[in-house]
Amino acid sequence: MKGRVALVTGGTGAIGSEICRQLAGGGARVAALGHPSEAARIPEWKAGFRDGDIAVELCDLGDFAAAGAAIAGIEGALGPVDILVNCAGITRDARFTKMTLQQWREVMSSNLDSVFNASKPVFEGMCARGFGRIVNISSVNGQRGQFGQANYSAAKAGMHGFTMALAQEGAARGVTVNTVSPGYIDTALARQIRPDVLDKLVAGIPAGRMGTPADIARAVAFLCADEAGYVTGANLAVNGGLYMS
């Protein structure tokens, strides 16, 4: 991984930040893509890294042209992207009978369109150079579904369909494409769940705890390694045994 250029979409979030940290710690030159709404906190975010400077670009990844321009800027500064981690995503939860078209489209744009929009500018170059790693961060709820998350579960399931198809196109050219599907991860977002509800969720996890961003980042780092070239089209579940398939 040393010297490789890595791009992490959603890289300024809790899980994305830890992925950036571990890839940088492994010697990669890392750039994070965040959302323009995060501009005010980016200086503080960058100051939290001690394993090397992390480049940051802000754009709406649901916008194909904006994503392409941001990635072109990163490649102009760091060089061609060797490693892409698609970690951007949002939730807009509601019972399906109450879910609006806007809630559906916002989740599809941020969680699924973004995967196409970020992968399209880098995949051909990876194939031409004979090396590439793409890792898509899905969810346990993309595997099993979840009440109130028809939009999110559909988008996350779609990510792995994309993984399997693109993996077949890249395999002979040295480009692997894999999915990591986290379970419940201990982040500020998870801590917003009502305590009694959260306790029930954790009680249903065989490992007896929520995961950490580091648990996810370690799985991503493994799949991004030069030595992981024979692993492609896989869905690596990191969920403490919550869902086994």
Supply the pLDDT for residue 32.
97
- pLDDT single digits (tens) 112-137: 999 999 999 999 999 999 999 999 99
Please name every residue paired with 85 in a beta bridge, in sequence order, or none if there are none.
8, 135
Query: Angle of helix 150-170 relative to helix 101-108, nearest 10 degrees?
Result: 30
Instruction: Name which residue leads in pLDDT, 49 or 207.
Output: 207
**What's the CA gap between 238 and 110, in Å, rounded?**
22
The size of the chain, in residues, is 245
Residue 177 pLDDT: 99
For the chain, give every domain's residue range. 5-235
Q: Which residue numbers are catalytic?
A: 152
User: pLDDT tens, 10-32?
Assistant: 999 999 999 999 999 999 999 99
Evaluate if residue 53 carries a pLDDT over 90: no
Confidence of residue 51 (pLDDT cuts 50, 70, 90): low
Domain 5-235 in this protein, CATH class:
alpha beta
Contact 143, 134 (CB under 8 A): no
Contact 69, 59 (CB under 8 A): yes
State the chain's mean pLDDT as an integer. 95
Above 70 in pLDDT, residue 226? yes
